C-alpha cells in the first residue's frame, strides 16, 4: 500500500491559512468530517487533544515537518491528511515534542492501536524526505494537485505488517573474544544486562554470553565469595571460552511474527539482528510484545532497566 492510497483528497489542505499546530489539525479534520465518519465535535476534540498532548502522539520528522497519529474507532482503516502552511506554525510545548515551529503537519488516523501506524508512516516518510529536494517540493506545494504530483512522496510504501526493525533494540554493549570473564560480569552487573554479544573485528556475531553462562562457569571454577581473602586466585577464562557459539540471527527485514515464533520455539529471550553480517541490535520478548500489542515506541526506546532490553 502506498501513501497515495492512504491520503484522503479532502484532507489535503494547501495552503493552510493558520498560525499554529492546533489550527492545522483542525483544518485537516474539518475536511475529514465529510468523507470520513468523524463528527465535528469529535474532530474538534481530537485536534485539541493532539495539540495539548492528551490524545495520540506528535512526532517531529524534520525542522519543518511533524506527524500526528491518533486512534479513531469509527474508521474502516488507516488514512492520512496533510496541511502545508506558507508561514511557520507554532508548536506548543504541551504537544509532547520540542517547542518550536513547523510548516507541514501530517495527520495519520487509525481505527485501532496507532503504534504500528506511527512506526510505519514515520519511518516511510523519514526515508522519503531525506532528500532536501523532496522537502523543498513539499514545502512549496500550494494545491491538492501539487501534493498529489510529488511522485516520490506518493509512492512511499506503507507496510501492513511489522518487521524485525520495528522492534529493534539497538546494541549498546559488546565484548570481544579475548575479553576476560570478570570484565563481562562487571558489565552485566553494572548495566543490568542479561546477555552480551561477542563480536569479531568487523562486528560480526561470534557468539552470545549470557548471565547464566557466566554464573555457571564461576560456580564451577569455585569462584571465591566477596572478601574471602584466604581463597586462592581463580584463573579467569575469556568470553570466547564461555560463549554460546551457535547463535540464530535474524535480519531487519524479516517478519516480526516469524522472529517471535523462532524465539518461542527455541525458548530464547532474544535474537541478534544483523545487517550484512554486522550486529546492529536485538529483538527481545519485551520489545516484540511492545511492538505487536500497542505499546508506544518511546517506551521501547527508553526501557526502565537495561536488563529488560537484553542488550
Asked if the structure places residue 228 within a domain, the reply is no
pLDDT the model gives residue 277 = 82
Report the CATH number that the domain containing residue 130 is assigned in CATH: 3.40.930.10
Does one domain contain both 173 and 153?
Answer: no
- The three-point CA angle 70-75-81 to 5° equals 55
Cβ atoms of 70 and 117 closer than 8 Å: no
Name the domain boundary from 140, 160, 180.
160
Q: pLDDT at position 138, please?
A: 96
Of 145, 160, 175, which residue is a domain's last? 160
Confidence at residue 265, expressed as pLDDT on a 0 to 100 scale: 93
Would you state the pLDDT for residue 37?
79
Q: Are residues 41 and 115 in the same domain?
A: yes
Q: Which residues contact 161 (CB under 8 A, 6 or more apart)?
A: 255, 256, 257
Is the same domain home to 243 and 145? no
Are 104 and 83 in contact, with CB atoms under 8 Å apart?
yes
Pick from 109, 134, 160: which residue ends a domain? 160
**Nearest-5° Cα angle at 66, 62 to 72:** 150
Whether the pLDDT of residue 219 is over 60: the answer is: yes
Mean pLDDT of 259-278: 89
* pLDDT averaged over every residue in the chain: 83
> How large is the average pLDDT for residues 94-110?
88
Residue 105 pLDDT class (50, 70, 90 cuts): very high
Query: How many domains does one find in the chain?
Result: 2
**For residue range 168-209, what is the model confidence (pLDDT) as tens digits?**
888 888 899 999 999 999 999 998 888 888 999 888 889 989
Report pLDDT for 160.
61
One domain for residues 189 and 155: no
Model confidence at 223: pLDDT above 50: yes
Tell which wins on pLDDT, 195 or 84: 84
pLDDT in tens, 122-151: 878 888 888 899 999 999 999 999 999 999
**Which residue segment(s) compose the domain that 82 sits in?**
3-160
Residues 188 and 153 in one domain: no
Residues 146 and 171 in one domain: no
Statement: residue 92 has pLDDT above 70: yes
CATH of the domain at 283: 3.10.580.10
Do 179 and 301 lie in a common domain?
yes
What does the pLDDT read at residue 191? 85
- pLDDT value at 212 more than 50: yes
Amino acid at each position: 500500500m502506498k501513501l497515495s492510497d492512504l491520503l484522503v483528497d479532502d484532507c489535503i489542505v494547501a495552503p493552510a491559512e493558520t498560525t499554529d499546530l492546533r489550527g492545522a489539525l483542525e483544518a485537516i479534520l474539518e475536511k475529514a468530517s465529510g468523507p470520513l465518519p468523524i463528527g465535528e465535535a469529535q474532530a474538534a476534540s481530537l485536534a485539541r487533544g493532539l495539540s495539548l498532548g492528551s490524545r495520540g502522539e506528535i512526532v517531529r520528522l524534520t525542522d519543518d515537518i511533524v506527524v500526528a497519529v491518533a486512534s479513531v474507532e469509527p474508521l474502516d482503516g488507516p488514512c492520512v491528511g496533510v496541511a502545508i502552511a506558507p508561514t511557520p506554525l507554532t508548536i506548543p510545548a504541551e504537544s509532547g515534542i520540542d517547542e518550536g515551529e513547523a510548516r507541514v503537519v501530517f495527520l495519520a488516523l487509525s481505527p485501532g492501536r496507532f503504534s504500528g501506524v506511527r512506526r510505519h508512516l514515520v519511518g516511510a516518510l523519514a526515508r522519503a524526505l531525506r532528500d532536501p529536494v523532496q522537502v523543498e517540493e513539499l514545502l512549496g506545494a500550494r494545491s491538492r494537485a501539487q501534493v498529489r504530483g510529488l511522485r516520490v512522496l506518493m509512492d512511499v510504501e506503507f507496510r501492513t505488517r511489522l518487521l524485525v526493525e520495528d522492534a529493534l533494540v539497538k546494541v549498546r554493549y559488546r565484548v570481544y573474544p579475548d575479553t576476560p570473564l570478570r570484565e563481562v560480569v562487571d558489565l552485566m552487573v553494572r548495566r543490568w544486562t542479561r546477555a552480551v554479544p561477542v563480536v569479531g573485528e568487523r562486528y560480526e556475531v561470534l557468539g552470545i554470553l549470557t548471565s547464566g553462562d557466566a554464573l555457571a562457569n564461576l560456580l564451577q571454577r569455585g569462584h571465591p565469595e566477596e572478601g574471602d581473602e584466604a581463597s586462592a586466585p581463580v584463573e579467569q577464562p575469556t568470553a570466547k571460552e564461555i560463549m554460546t557459539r551457535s547463535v540464530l540471527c535474524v535480519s531487519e527485514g524479516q517478519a516480526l511474527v516469524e522472529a517471535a515464533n523462532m524465539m518461542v520455539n527455541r525458548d530464547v529471550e532474544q535474537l541478534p539482528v544483523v545487517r550484512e553480517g554486522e550486529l546492529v541490535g536485538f529483538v527481545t520478548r519485551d520489545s516484540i510484545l511492545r511492538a505487536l500489542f500497542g505499546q508506544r515506541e518511546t517506551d521501547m526506546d527508553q526501557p526502565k532497566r537495561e536488563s529488560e532490553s537484553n542488550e
